[in-house]
């Protein structure tokens, strides 16, 4: 989930606590998309 007000990304996996990424973090999903990385700040730049 992308929270535009708090400028953070929340990642949910069933049975686990959500992972919260802030503006200085990097979003990745090695199990789903190997080698994919996206700086969270790039999501919010306009």
Instruction: Considering only the C-alpha atoms of the chain, give the largest distance between any 2 of them, rounded to a whole number of Å.
Output: 34
Report, as an integer, the average pLDDT of 15-44: 94
Query: Six-digit token pair at 32?
Result: 């789903």
Mean per-residue pLDDT over the chain, rounded: 93
Condensed to tens digits (0 to 9), the pLDDT of residues 25-35 reads: 999 988 889 99
Tokens of 20: 């919260």
Higher per-residue pLDDT: 45 or 17: 17
Q: Where are the domains of the chain?
A: 2-44
Q: What is the pLDDT of residue 46?
A: 61
Burial (Cβ within 10 Å: 0-12, 13-18, ≥19) of residue 21 = buried
Q: Average pLDDT of 18-44?
A: 94
Examine the pLDDT at 21 and tell me if it is beyond 70: yes
Residue 15 to residue 30: CA distance in whole angstroms: 19
- Residue length, the chain? 46
Q: Give pLDDT, residue 32.
A: 87
């Amino acid at each position: 989930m992308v929270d535009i007000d708090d400028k953070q990304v929340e990642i949910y996996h069933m049975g686990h606590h959500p992972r919260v990424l802030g503006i200085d973090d990097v979003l990745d999903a090695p199990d789903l998309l190997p080698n994919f990385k996206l700086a969270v700040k790039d999501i919010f730049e306009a």
